[in-house]
A and B are shown apart, each in its own frame.
Chain A
């Protein structure tokens, strides 16, 4: 079955450490996204990519970095510059701009600073 796989499900980060969250899709979607969800809040867009080797900042990109070297993969690195990284991170994909098929989401990664 096609879908989006996020790993790991739970991740613990020490102060000053960079960590990378994995997102892989086998839906042949062009566009991929990273969202952050905090308790009681909606989803906020971190980064998105509409095509391989290209990505754009979302509303809260500071302290995060991404790469899009392959169509299937869109890893997110939470850097030490992100001062409040504890949150639930969701990856999504869509067929691309102008296509009427909406978003598909992964199951999420919960990141905790220890």
Chain B
């Protein structure tokens, strides 16, 4: 079974700081990796999807990279803002299995 770990579990930074969230997984035979944002009491919003043939994706101030061989993905947030405060979850899909396994998330607090 795929195990997905996110470190740190919580992070508090001042506004404007660049930061990195980490995601590691035990089975490198993954198909897709997806990063989500979850606000308190809400559903998950997709941020970035790294497809099977890709190594990174960018959207605005967000950049996600994927290294299958080492079982790691990072989400880089540039120039953080208080509105970025949320829980960030990564999910990996095993190759051709069409099920995603989730990490427990990193709870980010960006202080004004």
Contact = CB atoms under 8 A, between A and B. Distances in A.
Contact of A101 (B4, B41, B49): B49
Given A102-B49, A103-B34, A103-B46, A96 B98 contact: yes
Contacts of A103: 34, 44, 46, 91, 100
Contacts of A113: none
B29 to A, nearest CB: 14
Contacts, number: 59
B84 to A, nearest CB: 19
A29 B51 CA distance: 18
A2 interface: no
A110 interface: yes
Interface of A: 6, 31, 33, 35, 40-43, 45, 48, 50, 58, 88, 90, 92, 94, 96-98, 100-108, 110
